[in-house]
Amino acid sequence: MSKPIKPIRKAVFPVAGLGTRFLPATKAMPKEMLTVVDRPVIQHVVDEARDAGIEHFIFVTGRNKGVIEDHFDSQFELERTLMERGKKRELEMITRDLPGAGQTSFTRQQAPLGLGHAVWCAREIVGNEPFALLLPDMLHHSATACLTDMMKAYNETGGNLIAVSPVPNDQTHLYGIVGVENAKDKVTSIKSMVEKPPRGTAPSNLHITGRYILQPEIFDLLSRQEAGAGGEIQLTDAMITLMEEKKQTFSAVRFDGRIYDCGSKIGFLTANVAYALARDDLGPSLKSELKKLM
């Protein structure tokens, strides 16, 4: 008899990065708090996790990131002022976005030792259960949230899942790439993984997009993981070990929407335009203004 599939209740958000590509804007403001339209980048990603059924939000932070914790807390003075001024819509909006009591946890990554190390820093809070991992820089824009599709696939397959999306063949050396059983399927088995393969050696053109569902055994591997590419502890290296040596299954879930890398200036600016155009209250006017600029 197969083991029952444990539910995914927790999600990890690595938010300790310095955001040097956005200086001087990020000198005092965490890059995750830069806004796409009127919501911080991190709020968009937390919304995606909440919509997928996540109950506990774990933030791996660094120095000068306290404003992220404040953002996901009640602001008594603001709420009282909005109430006194009769701004019911604004009050409802900020209270609706708040996680419930005890639904957020914050832990520190004291040194920038890589994504794998950031994930490992969440080990005590996650515990011995599978979890979701969402990279806040990567906004996934589509009618159905990426993590929602992944949770649906997980409930059928169990194991570990990675969201993937195609890139041009001449760009595969810039990404983590997976080799799969059938690249055209929505969900397919992963046969290999490689971080930034040399040109012409990639097993496919499907890149890892920054959304994962992982089993807790990854923490033990990360605890003894040696530094990999760039001198950092690489998550991909630990996933390869989990797949090849520990024989855990990995499945790719193809994401067919648009992905905006908000860690880059062009990706961030494009995300603002795309998210605004998708809104009924902003789209028509913005489209008109863009036509004037062009």
60 lies in a domain?
yes
DSSP type of residue 6? P
DSSP type of residue 60? E
The CATH number for 52's domain is 3.90.550.10
4 lies in a domain?
no
| pLDDT at position 115 | 92
5 lies in a domain?
no
Helix axes 283-293, 265-277, angle to 10 degrees: 130
212 lies in a domain?
yes
* Domain that residue 66 falls in: 10-293
pLDDT tens digits along 131-176 = 999 999 999 999 899 999 999 999 999 999 999 999 999 999 999 9
User: Which of 57, 78, 54 has its CA nearest to residue 69?
Assistant: 57
Summary mean pLDDT of the chain: 91
109 lies in a domain?
yes
pLDDT tens digits along 100-120 = 888 999 999 988 888 999 999
2 lies in a domain?
no
271 lies in a domain?
yes
The SS3 call for residue 155 is helix
| pLDDT at position 229 | 60
Split into its structural domains, the chain has a count of 1
141 lies in a domain?
yes
Of the chain, the end-to-end C-alpha distance in Å amounts to 62
CB-side neighbour CA atoms (13 Å) of 123: 14
How distant, in Å, are the alpha carbons of 46, 163, 165, 243 from that of 39?
Answer: 11, 24, 25, 37
Q: How far is it, in rounded angstroms, from Cα 171 to Cα 176?
A: 11
